[in-house]
């Protein structure tokens, strides 16, 4: 049997313990370990078809043909699969997110996870989830974590090497082990100001706080993982908020700023809500949106309060889960 095409589904994830910065070696290895939660309900669907008639890869995202740098990143990933499978046939890739790309949810995480899964399957390779995670991670480190549902850890990269070492994410706990809701507070509709890789590189090269962030990132991830496994919601929330603030402090110290006025207002309101007994904690990625971690029983009380904050454009309520899967395989005899 020769596999020709495969369709896959993968979900976005949000880091509770953030990754920010890369090891100064090839291979896109993160500088600190990270711990994330994959989210159910939102998905990227990707169909990849190897087509001998094509002279180069063709990528359509949400009905639009994509060229330039994004296409190069896709071709690089598929090239690794082609070289392992021993052929050079180009691919047509059609991908769509069922959540808004400007929602502040990392579409690159679900996007590259879905692409890696579809490409490996369509090439007829029987790779372990760890190997697929390593492939996705090379394109976007957070994508390595979307190869698993629930709570997932990605270690920091090796200190030395040529970039060929495998580094895969690994599941830490199923979604059911730590009940939580994530309320995404969208504060701006549009593309982010500084791409995460550019922001990281500037932080690595010029932030006076980068070294401290590296040691803090390690301590924070370990403490957060222990709190998660002990099902200690308040501690997980505190550590997740602290991780995001430390990451942004290191970036802010060299002029890399992702916040807008609403970002700060939401963080202030979360502190006030905690004072009246609600367990709400915020985390922020490379954009101005705040993702609020809340206990499931408190979510119906908290979401309307978040929606009422000036500058919150809309809210999306997400739940941990999100195991990726292959939906369809097409093969010839």
Position 44 contacts ligand PMV (CB under 6 A): no
Residue (of 42, 13, 229, 250) closest to 137 by Cα position: 13
269 binds ligand PMV (CB under 6 A): no
- Residue number with CB closer to ligand PMV (136 or 173): 136
List the alpha helices (DSSP H) in the chain. 69-85, 107-122, 129-139, 141-145, 196-206, 210-229, 233-252, 261-275, 299-307
Question: Cα(52)–Cα(278) distance, rounded to whole angstroms?
Answer: 58
Q: Whole-number minimum distance, CB 86 to ligand PMV, in Å?
A: 30
What per-residue string of b and e applies to 31-62 under the rule 16 or more CB within 10 Å gives b? bbbbbbbbbeebbbbbbbbbeeeeeebbbebe
Side-chain half-sphere CA neighbours of 138 within 13 A: 23
Asked if residue 18 binds ligand PMV (CB under 6 A), the reply is yes
Considering only 31, 141, 266, 290, the residue that binds ligand PMV (CB under 6 A) is: 141
Please report whether residue 142 would count as binding ligand PMV according to CB under 6 A. Answer: yes
What are the distances in angstroms from CA 149 to CA 102, 110, 143, 241, 295? Answer: 23, 11, 12, 22, 19
Terminal CA-to-CA distance of the chain, rounded, Å? Answer: 5
Q: Which is nearer to ligand PMV, 9 or 21 (CB)?
A: 21
- Asked if residue 214 lies in contact with residue 157, where contact means CB atoms within 8 angstroms, the answer is no
Site string for ligand PMV, 273-302 (x = CB under 6 A): ------------xx----------------
Which x/- pattern over 102-121 shows residues binding ligand PMV (rule: CB under 6 A)?
----x-x-------------
Query: Which part of the chain contacts ligand PMV (CB under 6 A), choosing from 13-21, 70-78, 180-188, 322-330?
Result: 13-21
Instruction: Map the footprint of ligand PMV across residues 182-211, applying CB under 6 A.
Output: 196-197
Tokens of 38: 């994959």
One residue of 12, 19, 21, 149 binding ligand PMV per CB under 6 A? 19
Does position 31 interact with ligand PMV (CB under 6 A)? The reply is no
Stretch that binds ligand PMV, among 14-22, 124-132, 235-243, 310-318 (CB under 6 A): 14-22
In the complex, the residues that contact ligand PMV under the rule CB under 6 A are 15, 18-20, 34, 106, 108, 140-142, 196-197, 285-286
């Amino acid at each position: 049997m020769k596999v020709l095409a495969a369709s896959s589904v993968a979900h976005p994830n949000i880091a509770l313990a953030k990754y920010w910065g890369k090891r100064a070696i090839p291979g896109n290895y993160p500088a600190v370990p990270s711990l994330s939660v994959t989210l159910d309900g939102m998905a990227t669907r990707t169909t990849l078809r190897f087509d001998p008639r094509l002279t180069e890869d063709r990528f359509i995202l949400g009905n639009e043909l994509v060229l330039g740098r994004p296409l190069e990143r896709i071709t690089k990933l598929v090239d690794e699969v082609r070289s392992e499978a021993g052929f050079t046939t180009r691919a047509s890739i059609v991908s769509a997110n069922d959540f808004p790309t400007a929602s502040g949810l990392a579409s690159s995480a679900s996007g590259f996870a879905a692409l890696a899964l579809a490409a490996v399957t369509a090439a007829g390779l029987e790779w372990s989830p760890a190997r697929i995670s390593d492939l996705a991670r090379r394109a976007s480190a957070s994508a390595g974590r979307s190869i698993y549902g629930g709570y997932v850890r990605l270690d920091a990269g090796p200190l030395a090497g040529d970039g060929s070492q495998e580094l895969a994410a690994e599941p830490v706990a199923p979604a059911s082990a730590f009940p939580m809701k994530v309320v995404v507070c969208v504060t701006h509709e549009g593309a982010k100001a500084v791409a995460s890789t550019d922001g990281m590189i500037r932080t690595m090269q010029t932030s006076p706080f980068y070294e401290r962030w590296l040691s803090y990132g390690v301590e924070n991830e370990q403490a957060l993982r222990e709190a998660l496994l002990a099902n200690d919601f308040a501690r997980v929330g505190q550590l997740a908020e602290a991780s995001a603030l430390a990451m942004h402090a290191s970036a802010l110290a060299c002029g890399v700023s992702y916040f807008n006025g609403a970002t700060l207002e939401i963080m202030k309101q979360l502190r006030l809500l905690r004072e009246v007994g609600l367990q709400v904690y915020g985390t922020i990625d490379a954009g101005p949106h705040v993702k609020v971690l809340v206990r499931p029983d408190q979510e119906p009380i908290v979401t309307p309060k978040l929606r009422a904050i000036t500058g919150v454009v809309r809210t999306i309520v997400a739940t941990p889960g999100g195991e990726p899967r292959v939906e369809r395989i097409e093969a010839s005899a």
